[in-house]
A and B are shown apart, each in its own frame.
Chain A
Amino acid sequence: MEKTVFKPKIPIEKQVLTTANGDEAVAYAVKQSYVDVVAAYPITPQTIIVEKYSEFVNDGLVHTEFIPVESEHSAMSACVGAAAAGARAFTATSSQGLALMVEIVYIASALRLPIVMAVVNRALSAPINIHNDHSDAYLMRDSGWIQLFVENVQETYDTTIQAFKIAEDPRVQLPVAVNLDGFFLSHTLENFYMLPDDTVYEFLGGPRKLVNVKVDYFSEEVPLVLNPARPLTFGSLDLYDYYFEHKVQQVEAMKNVPPVVREINEEWYKLTGRRYGDGVVDAYGVEDADIVIVAMGSGAGTIRSVVKKLREKGEKIGLLKIRMFRPFPYSDIAEILSGAKIVAVMDKAIGPGSFGALYEDIAVSLYDLDERPLLLDYIYGLGGRDLPPSLVYRMIEEVKKDLESKSVERKIRYLGVRE
């Protein structure tokens, strides 16, 4: 609870209250982020982002070079080229588009190019489905990208701007994917506050700044950028003699991400009065909770409203929203969940032959605790299946029974599937 009234640098009355869907909010955020290159291919439910952005380009409102490519593979390739040439680059995709692009997705992170991508989460085929779940995000889980998940349109806007700053931080230099739930966020109108253009420009420190590298054939450090005057080899062959070392470099860079995400979350708070937990996770009512639900994305909003009602009735229940899925905040989670008696993890994607990916990460986080809470995996919302509050209530009733009997018989459960 805040005691003193905090006054942000840009108080709410100086922010513009507007209405947009999540996709448009991304487009506005990119417009204000002084992006040099946008390359994208339309795919539902991402299309609105690029449609809206191409209007800005057409109307001369941005200086961006807009590349309407012929596939997502090319979209990411164009972003890689642009970012290697020093540009601030952005793309957006969904589902099969991300699957097509994934070869270059790995290359973007390994070449340490701070690209930002909006992933408007959608189920992977087959069967063909254009609606939301997190299977596309899980697909790029080990690609070396930072993965952030947002809950509502305001967070979508805020996080997209923050993503550029996180990616370009000299300690990080890694690409960031901002995950927003297809249709639930991408096509749903919500009110949100926008910052003045110059505030965003100042927050990002102007256009992208390059980092330096030391290579043997130049006497001084040189900027990590394609430049004919000081040629560097990007994307070289790197067999058993150096591939391993470069992968470890990526792992080490990932270690710098949580503090940077937290700093930027705090900076955003001082600027706008808004923050999302500590930037990495957002715990609600977890301190004294026996039951904790773990979730990501827009579902967290529904669950929070249910949890809030139950807490008002005095029930010891909490919600842990994961905002940063990669790098995964294992130790933070261990600390937060150490007091819980039972933890229900909600995975919005399925892995035939395994648990949900979030469940596995939570299980690893808890493994070293002396007293581990009981752990459950709820698969929900596949292919856009709704998560109404009634379903959350039903799930919590089930979890309570497990807690009473102190045993968990079925670890994986499907929430909202017809038997």
Chain B
Amino acid sequence: MSEPRGWRNLPIGGVAYRLSTDVKTGDWRALRPVVDHNKCTKCMICWLFCPDMAIVWDGEKIQVNLDYCKGCGICAHECPVKAISMVPEFEEV
């Protein structure tokens, strides 16, 4: 975390002074998506439906960027081959 700023050093109007990607928003998740790459057909439907930008394509397969994943489970619900399962956050996979 950077040093918190005083009111004199903030842009007016409540405009964010950094990119929203600088703010990690995945910390209030209760469930987390786990991808079974053996089942995944790389159709990218999960990427399309993720309301954040938490599904990323690494060049070979899809990955979940947990820094931004809210655990909503939309990806798991939309996956046509049920390659994504939602597991409790505290559970080791």
Contacts and interface: CB of A to CB of B under 8 A. Distances in A.
A403 B44 CA distance: 83
A242 B18 contact: no
Interface in B1-37: 4-7, 10-20
A337 B19 CA distance: 51
A248 interface: yes
Contacts of B15: 213, 215, 224, 232-234, 236
Contacts of A111: 13-14
Contacts of B17: 214-216
A6 interface: no
Interface string A210-239: 010111110000001000000011111010
A233 B10 contact: no
Contacts of B16: 215, 232-233, 236
A112 interface: yes
A308 B21 CA distance: 65
Contacts of A249: 7, 10, 12
Nearest to B20: A233
B51 to A, nearest CB: 16
A245 interface: yes
A234 B11 CA distance: 11
B19 A214 contact: no
**Size category, B interface:** 10 to 19
Contact of A235 (B4, B7, B12, B14): B14
Nearest to A112: B13
A248 B14 CA distance: 11
A246 B19 contact: no
B87 to A, nearest CB: 28
A215 to B, nearest CB: 5
Contacts of B10: 242, 245-246, 249
A257 interface: no
Interface residues of A, number: 26
Contacts of B5: 242, 245
A109 to B, nearest CB: 10
Determine chain B's interface SS by DSSP, over half rule: loop
Contact of A246 (B4, B7, B18, B20): B7
Interface string A263-300: 00000000000000000000000000000000000000
Nearest to B5: A245
A118 B6 CA distance: 34
Interface string A154-165: 000000000000
A235 B16 CA distance: 9
A217 B12 contact: no
Contacts of B13: 110-113, 173, 213, 224, 234
A224 B14 contact: no
A112 B19 CA distance: 20
B11 A248 contact: no
A308 B67 CA distance: 72
B14 A238 contact: yes
Given A233-B20, A236-B16, A213 B11 contact: yes
A302 B17 CA distance: 51
A311 B4 CA distance: 59
A16 B15 CA distance: 44
Contacts of B7: 245-246, 248-249, 252
Interface string A108-123: 0011110000000000
A312 interface: no
B12 A213 contact: yes
A176 B48 CA distance: 43
A252 B6 CA distance: 13
Contacts of A233: 15-16, 20
Contacts of B12: 112, 173, 211, 213, 224, 249, 253
A241 interface: yes
A241 B4 contact: yes
Interface in A166-215: 173, 211, 213-215
Nearest to B14: A246
Contacts of B18: 215-217
B6 to A, nearest CB: 7
Nearest to A242: B10
B6 A245 contact: yes
Closest 3 CB pairs of A and B: A213-B11, A112-B13, A245-B7
Interface of B: 4-7, 10-20
20 contacts: A112-B12, A173-B12, A211-B12, A213-B11, A214-B11, A215-B16, A215-B17, A215-B18, A216-B18, A232-B15, A234-B13, A234-B15, A236-B14, A236-B15, A236-B20, A241-B4, A242-B10, A246-B14, A249-B7, A252-B7
